[in-house]
Amino acid sequence: MATDILVPHLGDSVLEATIIKWVKQEGDFVNTGDTILELETEKANFEVAAETSGVLKSIGRIENEDVEVGDVLGSIDSSAKAEKSSTKTEKPTEEAKTPEAIIESANAEKIKATPVAQNIAKQENIDLAAVTPTGVGNKITKDDVNKHVQSAPDKTADTTSESVSSELFPSLSQLNSNREKRVKLSRRRRTIARRLKEAQNSAAILTTFNEIDMSSVMGLRKRRKDQFKEKYGVGLGFSSFFIKACVGALKLFPELNAEIQGEEIVYKNYYDIGVAIGAEEGLVVPVIREADKKSFAQIEHDVKNFALKSNDGTLTLDELMGGTFSITNGGVYGSLMSTPIINPPQVGILGLHNINQKPVVIDGEIVIRPMMYVALSYDHRIVDGKEAVQYLVKIKELIEDPETLLIEG
């Protein structure tokens, strides 16, 4: 009896996916719950598990192919159970009993790599066992594979006259093959491109800027970081300060915590703050739920866990769905200033940037202070320039006097 392998329900509003790889191959025996293949959606990666035990009879859709919810991916022959169990008593082959084969199998199981890294390794014909991992949990990332490709020595040229001639007078096709490389856009990258273009086409996006003196926050972190880490088990970063400041300012300017639905404005009385993270497979924006009710330590734990999960590709759809306002930090990459694009249906996003020591005038004197440019992009359809500027000024006030974050909640 054959059981179809179907594309499962992928979450609200997620209807399509891309096949990353088949973990099992035709003829392999699988148990109920075994991962058969991996899918990539616009939000997260999914593992499709076997719903019955048996032999993987057929594979109907190939890697990198786009599929929809409900599509048939292949089939499992569940009647092969008895045949599988009977083969257990058969005498193993000499090859299977050799220590080398056992070691090779064990090493293969230990190798961990992100889906992107696996695809690159496959395209470049690279053995992942030869790549040094640097990712979380000793996982191989795409940067590890690319570094391995760049460090690999050139193959020794043949000494025949034909190879010498080829090197001296390469064909046009050889030159072109070395100059260009074609790689299909990942499902997530295509979604990012589509959503960003939709934001530009549908929203009237404007950006306002300001500059924040980070002295007070940096001084507070320096005084409290050791005690904070010892008590809560997580570092005290800038994220919790800015998330708390965003919530405080959103309470004063609710238009920036709203969205447009048809001809109505929906004001949100909750504060779910999205935090943009540059993951290996592309930008992801996990959401800190009810940030107004969380402590600094809880927020820092959430941010840390999201960063780890984004590197591992283990963020869930629930962690990526929704959000009423977002924060993105280009400063971690050295950005001085940028104009972030809002994440629809949200109408506002705060951009943080690099901190630089700069001369500023305070009380008539020139002093050196750590300054950060901040940017607020907003949808001018429901947020006026006055409110946007005042919102960013409030962020500046709260960060420059962080004690008010506690006083004002």
Give me 17's structure tokens.
């996916």
271 and 396 in a single domain? The answer is yes
Task: Give a yes or no: residue 400 inside a domain.
Answer: yes
Mean pLDDT of all residues in 74-96:
56
Query: 238: which residues sit within 8 A by CB, 6+ positions away?
Result: 217, 221, 329, 352
The answer to whether the CB of 78 falls within 8 A of the CB of 30 is no
203 and 340 in a single domain? The answer is yes
141 and 234 in a single domain? The answer is no
Task: Give a yes or no: residue 190 inside a domain.
Answer: no
Distances (CA, A) of 196 to 137, 283, 306, 346: 32, 11, 22, 12
Residue with tokens 């996006």: 205
- Structural domain boundaries, residue 267: 198-407
206 and 337 in a single domain? The answer is yes
109 and 227 in a single domain? The answer is no
Q: How many domains does the chain have?
A: 2
**pLDDT band of 378, cuts 50, 70, 90:** very high
124 and 221 in a single domain? The answer is no
Q: Number of helices (H) and strands (E), helices first, in the chain?
A: 14, 18
312 and 227 in a single domain? The answer is yes
**pLDDT band of 67, cuts 50, 70, 90:** confident
Helix (H, G, I), strand (E, B) or coil at 235: coil
Task: Give a yes or no: residue 98 inside a domain.
Answer: yes
Percent of the chain with pLDDT over 70: 83
For residues 63 and 65, give the distance between their C-alpha atoms in angstroms, rounded to a whole number. 5
* pLDDT tens by residue, 221-233: 999 999 999 999 9
Q: At what angle do helices 385-400 and 239-252 cross, to 10 degrees?
A: 140
Residue 79 pLDDT > 50: yes
Residues with a known catalytic role: 380, 384
The answer to whether the CB of 115 falls within 8 A of the CB of 40 is yes
**Average pLDDT value over all residues in the chain:** 83
The 10 Å CB-count burial string (b at 16+, else e) for 381-401 is ebbeeebbeebbebbbebbee
CATH number of the domain to which 218 belongs: 3.30.559.10
* pLDDT tens by residue, 134-164: 876 677 887 888 888 777 665 444 444 555 5
* pLDDT tens by residue, 350-375: 999 999 999 999 999 999 999 999 99
